[in-house]
Amino acid sequence: MRRILIVDDERHLRLLYRRELEDDGYQVVEAANAEEGIRAFEQQRPDLIVMDIRMPGMNGLEAMARILDKDRRVPIVLNTAFDSYRDDFTSWAADAYVTKGPDTEELRRTVRKLLEEREHLGPGEL
């Protein structure tokens, strides 16, 4: 079963994403801030990370950079209320950029697509 790490300071949003992604058949791990997210990544080794950007303390872009330092292959989806970070070149390192909204369809589609792409590549190719 694919394991997905959700990093977001909004408890109910994490819960919503967990429910939706679990419905889609993934195992979900949660982290409430960037530091916790980095620790969770190291311990749980998720197949994909959904990362909020604006969080108290370290922001999502910095956390993404740290995680990519350790593992350049893990797909990361930036998930934020604003699309203004699209222009921030740091965000270009992400595999996808999804704007938050009540409709979780885009997020779920993106997650599915990224994980399928990874499937095709096979281990050791990156």
Q: Which is nearer to another protein, 19 or 39 (CB)?
A: 19
Q: Which is nearer to another protein, 74 or 79 (CB)?
A: 79
CB of 102 to another protein, least distance (A): 2
Q: Check: CB of residue 85 under 8 Å from CB of residue 91.
A: yes
CA atoms of 45 and 50, how far apart (whole Å): 13
CB of 43 to another protein, least distance (A): 27
CB of 58 to another protein, least distance (A): 18
What residues make contact with another protein under the rule CB under 8 A?
Answer: 10, 12-13, 15-16, 19-20, 54, 81-82, 84, 100-104
Q: Which is nearer to another protein, 50 or 74 (CB)?
A: 50
Q: Check: CB of residue 84 under 8 Å from CB of residue 40.
A: no
Q: Both ends of the chain: CA-CA distance in Å?
A: 21
Q: Which residues pair with 5 in a beta bridge?
A: 29, 49
Q: Which is nearer to another protein, 8 or 47 (CB)?
A: 8
CA angle (45, 10, 104) in 5-degree steps = 75
CB of 124 to another protein, least distance (A): 37
